[in-house]
Chains A and B, each alone.
Chain A
């Protein structure tokens, strides 16, 4: 049986500490593979940081929810928000940095999600975004 856990967050960066405390508690209380839990945590962190930083500029009361579940070799997260359209799957990856002067400061988050998630699904729902991230061992 797969049990899903859900948290609701206000759409500001101060909420990330509460999110990560919640994820860490869930991980400790479960038997999920530590690597799988870390992969999912990284993907969730990067996706939500992006959304809060860029997706709520015209939203009066930004809100998100995160639902996570895992089974033997698979971890899933469903992130829903009431933000502007944001499907990062179409974003081009930045070039590999050559040196400290030319490297772009920032822009590392989406490549990290693409590197860690085995599957990324996106849909625009009535008043927001729904992102599904799946990590596998």
Chain B
């Protein structure tokens, strides 16, 4: 199963990315290029994780690289819709302390504007 990266431009300059599929080593490979392009061009990015069926460390690595690139341009990356399982992975590594993680899209948009 492969990972899909879907992108939507929302109002107020928010760029929404939906990841659908496993964020394992194959999925991370598929997400790396589009996320790098987004990180290089967009300042306010929200990533919907609802469709992420599996999150491995290589997926965390991609999320951290994306968030760091955006942060260096004084932008913001927010995750939302994270499954309980993916949340456990983020918590185990402490990543949920450095990448804002909220429940809903509305919260993600609000967090992005902070």
Judged by DSSP, the binding face of A is helix
Q: What is the minimal beta-carbon distance from B51 to any residue of chain A, in angstroms?
A: 16
Q: A125 to B94: give the CA distance in the assembly, Å.
A: 35
B97 lies within 8 A of A49 (CB) = no
A49 lies within 8 A of B98 (CB) = no
How many interface residues does A have (CB within 8 Å)?
28
By a CB distance below 8 angstroms, the chain A residues around B61 are: 105-106, 108
- Bitwise, A85-120 to B at CB < 8 A (1) or not (0) is 000000000001111110101101101100110000
A100 lies within 8 A of B67 (CB) = yes
By a CB distance below 8 angstroms, the chain A residues around B60 are: 108
A38 lies within 8 A of B94 (CB) = no
A42 lies within 8 A of B89 (CB) = yes
A97 lies within 8 A of B98 (CB) = yes
A112's partner among B22, B57, B71, B99 (CB-CB below 8 A) is B57
